[in-house]
A and B are shown apart, each in its own frame.
Chain A
Amino acid sequence: GNSVTQMEGPVTLSEEAFLTINCTYTATGYPSLFWYVQYPGEGLQLLLKATKADDKGSNKGFEATYRKETTSFHLEKGSVQVSDSAVYFCALSRRDFGNEKLTFGTGTRLTIIP
């Protein structure tokens, strides 16, 4: 079946540090890949996506590249801010009988200290 594995948290960084959150996946076929972010007290929201191999998704300074050869979709940001403190979820999407279904990783809590 489909699964997503992402690095265990929590992750604590100082402001302006470089961020990497690892994500690898297992899936049949060619899934689409996503990063969702959950800010405190809120629901999840889509951060970025990539729908085919070698695509790079980017948004708000975050980037992730769909690597089919390593089945990975690592999230990176060059200089984090306190406002980036949140829980980050890697996810993959497969279409079953015309219905889109997302499989989520367990989430990585990120805390940025000033």
Chain B
Amino acid sequence: NAGVTQTPKFQVLKTGQSMTLQCAQDMNHNSMYWYRQDPGMGLRLIYYSASEGTTDKGEVPNGYNVSRLNKREFSLRLESAAPSQTSVYFCASSENGQVPGELFFGEGSRLTVL
């Protein structure tokens, strides 16, 4: 039972490079999310997708784009990476309306931008 799978787990980029974080869930959930985790700041929502075909900005969307490719997959793209985007990124999914606030998280992707 894979749950939420993120790739890659680790990545080092130089300033200005681009990359895409991939996320897939096998729980048939409608909603998917991208968070970043920074020391002393907890988790902050970057983007979310309430259902296939829709995406919306969260608290900290600047510098990121997302694609909800299908119901299973939700990718996060950094077009021109900056050192401020050094963080641990978590993808999560939930079944809206069933159990409020119960998110299922991937193991995280640690990104370093030099």
Contacts and interface: CB of A to CB of B under 8 A. Distances in A.
Interface stretch (B66-74, B76-84, B94-102): B94-102
Contact of A102 (B4, B56, B101): B101
A93 B43 contact: no
A1 to B, nearest CB: 10
Interface string A46-86: 10010100000000000000000000000000000000000
Contacts of B94: 100
A100 B100 contact: yes
Give the most central of A42, A49, A99, A104: most B CB within 10 Å. A99
B103 A44 contact: yes
Nearest to B101: A93
Interface in A86-113: 89, 91-93, 95, 98-102, 104-107
Contact of B31 (A32, A42, A100): A100
A100 B101 contact: yes
Contacts of B42: 4, 89, 104-107
B34 interface: no
A10 to B, nearest CB: 12
A94 to B, nearest CB: 9
Query: For this complex, into which size category does the number of interface residues on chain B fall?
Result: 20 to 34
A114 interface: no
Contacts of B106: 43
A32 B100 contact: yes
A102 B103 contact: yes
A43 B3 CA distance: 11
B87 to A, nearest CB: 14
A23 to B, nearest CB: 12
Contacts of A102: 45, 101, 103
B13 interface: no
A12 interface: no
Interface of A: 4, 32, 34, 41-46, 49, 51, 89, 91-93, 95, 98-102, 104-107
Closest 8 CB pairs of A and B: A93-B101, A43-B105, A106-B42, A104-B42, A104-B43, A99-B50, A32-B100, A44-B105
